Amino acid sequence: MIAREKWVDCTRITGVGRVSVGENRAFWDVKAELGSVYMPEMKIRVLADNEGLPFNVGWGDSEPFTIDTKPPVADAGRNIVAYVGSL
């Protein structure tokens, strides 16, 4: 069986604006959107629409990457806390 991609709309985005091509920036609060998750094959798809011209929508997909918003886990045997990111 072939695995299918599942795309989810992101609603917690800030910084979207209308400026010249190449200068748009958006920030996604992944933890607020998805909660505590570990996804080793995450991809983001960005859609662009120039609002007006018919059939003038484009998109691009990122390469797969890992999203990890789960809390850190202590290694009791070595007293090590595994955590990557900022608090």
Domain ranges of the chain: 13-82
Give the span between the Cα atoms of 12 and 14, in whole angstroms: 7
Residue 66: its pLDDT value, please? 92
d(CA 37, CA 71): 9
- In three-state secondary structure terms, 43 is coil
- pTM of model > 0.85: no
Could you report the per-residue pLDDT of 29-54, keeping only the tens digit for each? 888 888 898 988 888 888 777 777 77
Q: Tokens 């609603």 map to which residue?
A: 11
pLDDT, one tens digit per residue, over 67-80 is: 898 887 766 666 55
